[in-house]
Amino acid sequence: MGDCIRCGKCCQDVMLAESPELLEKAYGYWKKTKQIDPNFSEIYLIYPMLTFLFEEPDADLPYHYRCKHYSIGADGLPGCSIHHIRPRMCKDFPYYEDVTHLQEEENISPYEGCGYNLPD
């Protein structure tokens, strides 16, 4: 497995199973709670960070978003404006709970040209 090459594809096309309506509803619920439930999925907390792009109904992860914190730095390279406090899903990318199902020859990242898909 390769490394991140800062292509920004994972930030410009965040693919999720959750619709914008579900994310908004869950985020609203979370904001009203007096105590944070440790089992509450972080995915709902990132709702304000995302801009909905489009839906691809036949895909496993049909909802496509763009992260509002993706930017081009002063050095001309793409990056995250909140890198030091980015969400766990970003820190852990491209690993997911079910990534163990992949065969060694399969791409670990769903993004074509992603550095994580390159050999070591």
Pair 2, 120: CB distance under 8 Å = yes
**Model pTM?**
0.82
Distance of CA 86 to the CA centre of its chain: 10
Cα distance between residue 56 and residue 64, in whole Å = 8
d(C-alpha 99, C-alpha 30), whole Å: 28
Q: What is the mean pLDDT of residues 66-72?
A: 94
pLDDT at 98 over 60: no
CA atoms within 13 A on the CB side of 23: 20
**What pLDDT, on a 0 to 100 scale, did the predictor assign at position 32?**
85
